[in-house]
């Protein structure tokens, strides 16, 4: 289980986080986490996962895995392979890689069987309630219309965060609810945690920042101020 409050940085498929640049970014994020004593994790691209996991001592997540077991499935992402590469878990159902509810349930179950952490993304409060029934470890509520806009859900739609926390915990009291979408600075993070979130899922605000270390320090300080 990932320690909360947590900051998860999703590298997506950004050029700034590809190959050696992704490895170096992971080192920066790990360094800030250690310096500020804040729990952090990264989700690099599949091709970079093993390398990243081998050089940092923070949790590394896959960005996606498929609801499959080993076999003749060319091009699919095997959860077992993610674990072997050093992943401690996986994002599931990100708005840029959506799954059907039945597929989400299968992935969460398979990750649990492997002892891996599931971080399921949900676009609204109702989906949070539905996926909470699958008992993932974490749910990240992310209204897709705010992703990458710099308009933080914690400020623009604070009720989405608080209602998601309430709804998810009614279905599964043990689930940790994170929030994402537009989270850009430490103040956005502080507000999110005050609303009941146990962490944030971010991407471009750090990955594409002119100074990723400064951006990550600001985000980490937001956790400490909550």
Domains and CATH numbers, the chain: 6-225 (3.20.20.70)
CA–CA separation, 145 and 132 (whole Å): 22
Q: What is the pTM of this model?
A: 0.96
Smallest CA-to-CA distance from 130 within 147, 105, 153 is with 105
- pLDDT tens digits along 150-202: 888 888 889 989 999 999 999 999 999 999 888 999 999 999 999 999 999 99
pLDDT digits (tens, 9 = 90+) for 6-51: 999 999 999 999 999 999 999 999 999 999 999 999 999 999 999 9
Catalytic center residues: 94, 142
E strands, the chain, where?
Answer: 6-10, 39-43, 61-62, 89-92, 117-122, 138-141, 176-180, 199-202
């Amino acid at each position: 289980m990932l320690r909360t409050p947590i900051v998860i940085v999703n590298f997506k498929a950004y050029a700034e986080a590809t190959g050696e640049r992704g490895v170096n970014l992971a080192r920066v994020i790990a360094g800030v986490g250690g310096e500020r004593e804040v729990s952090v994790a990264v989700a690099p691209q599949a091709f970079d996962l093993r390398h990243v996991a081998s050089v940092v001592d923070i949790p590394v997540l896959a960005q996606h895995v498929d609801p499959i077991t080993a076999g003749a499935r060319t091009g699919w992402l095997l959860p077992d392979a993610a674990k072997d590469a050093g992943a401690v878990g996986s994002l599931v159902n990100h708005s840029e890689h959506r799954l059907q509810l039945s597929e989400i349930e299968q992935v969460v179950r398979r990750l649990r069987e492997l002892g891996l952490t599931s971080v399921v993304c949900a676009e609204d409060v109702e989906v949070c309630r539905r996926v909470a029934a699958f008992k993932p470890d974490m749910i990240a509520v992310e209204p897709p219309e705010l992703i990458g806009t710099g308009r933080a859900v914690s400020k623009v739609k604070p009720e989405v965060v608080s209602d998601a926390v309430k709804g998810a915990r009614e279905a599964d009291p043990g689930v940790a609810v994170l929030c994402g979408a537009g989270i850009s600075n430490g103040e956005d993070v502080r507000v999110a945690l005050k609303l009941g979130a146990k962490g944030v899922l971010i991407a471009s605000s750090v990955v594409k920042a002119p100074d990723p270390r400064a951006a990550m320090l600001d985000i980490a300080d937001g956790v400490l101020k909550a």
